[in-house]
């Protein structure tokens, strides 16, 4: 097996510079209060489209790093997680805890100092997470972790209260969602997006049938890390707002084959489901050749493949579409 190290001069997908452009080209405010971002095409990440009907569709497009910081926020109400399937083998949370010398084992969940972050205010009484943010939730754990059952109801309450923000979490425990939902969930909160993570065919067949039947307004399928060729076509329809795929990063990462990704893309195209190739992973196979890709190039190399499907104009909210009232939170 031939191994190559990928640097800007020797890329898997040549033709663009690997440097990230950090400038916003323009912002336009429309009459219906939508905000349109005019963006360069160098850096890739998630954003959301808020349409006139106030519904939210998970999609993908190009953003600069500056815009990523201006649109997104992180909220980790607890930290630590237990491994439940093959995709957890080289979990980045475990790696980071080891790197920083954490004195608490990574498999022990504990509330963080940021637990109440969505409702915390600054000295001027404005929220620390401003209106219109897309909040990546519980990315150093799993929102449906069993150990977090006593803490989760308060998080649902904060999400409901902060209807001016979007909350987005991934889970490998989709089978626990129904027993973890708040009483007023109904068909789902308008401002919550849930991504079901699958890494191989076995996990897809275990999780996606459950995911398909759950009452969730905004669903995405996260194929990460992709460990083998997969067929998820039977679960693809207009209820899935995006399929996102990536390889595995870190020491000991398992390789991801470009042919698997193209096959998955074909499934999405056939069902007209938006598809996004998020990152290559550390070891990437293309045309029978295995490339070792540095972490800082994994996003840009995936973007250079230029295989995303269903990308349109996308918008972020300028202000809340549901005006929240004051509560006991201070």
Antiparallel, parallel or unpaired: β 110-111 and 283-286: unpaired
Give me the pLDDT at residue 14, please: 65
What is the chain's percent helix, strand, coil content, to nearest 5?
A: 25, 25, 50
The beta-strand segments (E) located in the chain are 3-6, 26-29, 34-38, 44-50, 56-62, 72-75, 78-79, 110-111, 134-137, 166-171, 192-198, 218-223, 240-246, 256-257, 275-279, 283-286, 289-293, 315-317
Please state, as a whole number, how many other Cβ atoms lie within 10 Å of the Cβ of residue 63. 24
Find, among 138, 125, 129, 211, the residue nearest to 163 by Cα. Answer: 129
Tell me the pTM.
0.78
Give the chain's radius of gyration (CA, Å): 20
Q: List the Cα angle 105/195/165 in 5-degree steps.
A: 95
The more confident residue out of 61 and 308 is 308
| Percent of the chain predicted with pLDDT > 70 | 73
pLDDT at 205 over 60: yes
Find, among 162, 165, 120, the residue nearest to 330 by Cα. Answer: 120
pLDDT digits (tens, 9 = 90+) for 99-130: 899 999 999 999 999 999 999 999 999 999 99
pLDDT digits (tens, 9 = 90+) for 143-202: 999 999 999 999 999 999 999 999 999 999 999 999 999 999 999 999 999 999 999 999
Give me the pLDDT at residue 71, please: 83
pLDDT digits (tens, 9 = 90+) for 267-307: 999 999 999 999 999 999 999 999 999 999 999 999 999 99
pLDDT at 5 over 50: no
Find, among 56, 290, 88, the residue nearest to 200 by Cα. Answer: 88
């Amino acid at each position: 097996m031939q191994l190559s190290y990928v640097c800007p001069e020797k890329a898997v997908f040549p033709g663009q510079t690997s440097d990230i452009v950090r400038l916003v080209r323009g912002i336009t405010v429309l009459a219906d209060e939508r905000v349109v971002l005019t963006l360069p095409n160098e850096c890739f990440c998630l954003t959301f489209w808020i349409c006139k009907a106030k519904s939210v569709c998970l999609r993908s497009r190009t953003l600069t790093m500056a815009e990523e910081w201006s649109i997104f926020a992180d909220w980790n109400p607890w930290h630590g997680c237990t491994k439940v399937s093959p995709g957890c083998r080289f979990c980045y949370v475990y790696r980071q805890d080891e790197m920083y010398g954490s004195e608490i084992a990574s498999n022990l969940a504990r509330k963080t100092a940021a637990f109440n972050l969505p409702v915390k205010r600054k000295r001027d009484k404005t929220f620390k997470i401003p209106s219109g943010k897309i909040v990546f939730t519980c990315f150093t754990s799993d929102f449906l972790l069993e150990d977090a059952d006593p803490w989760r109801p308060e998080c649902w309450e904060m999400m409901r209260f902060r209807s001016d923000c979007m909350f987005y979490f991934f889970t490998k425990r989709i089978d626990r969602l129904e027993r973890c939902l708040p009483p007023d969930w109904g068909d789902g909160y308008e401002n919550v997006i849930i991504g079901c993570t699958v890494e191989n065919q076995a996990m897809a067949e275990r999780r996606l049938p459950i995911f398909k039947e759950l009452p969730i307004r905004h669903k995405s399928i996260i194929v990460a890390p992709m460990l083998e060729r997969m067929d998820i076509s039977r679960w693809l329809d207009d209820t899935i707002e995006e399929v996102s795929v990536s390889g595995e990063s870190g020491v000991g990462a398992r390789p991801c084959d470009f042919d698997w990704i193209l096959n998955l893309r074909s499934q999405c195209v056939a069902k007209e489901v938006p598809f996004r190739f998020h990152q290559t992973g550390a070891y990437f196979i293309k045309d029978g050749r295995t490339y070792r890709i540095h972490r800082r190039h994994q996003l840009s190399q995936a973007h250079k493949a230029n295989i995303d499907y269903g990308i349109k104009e996308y918008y972020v909210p300028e202000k809340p579409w549901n005006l929240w009232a004051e509560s006991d939170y201070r």
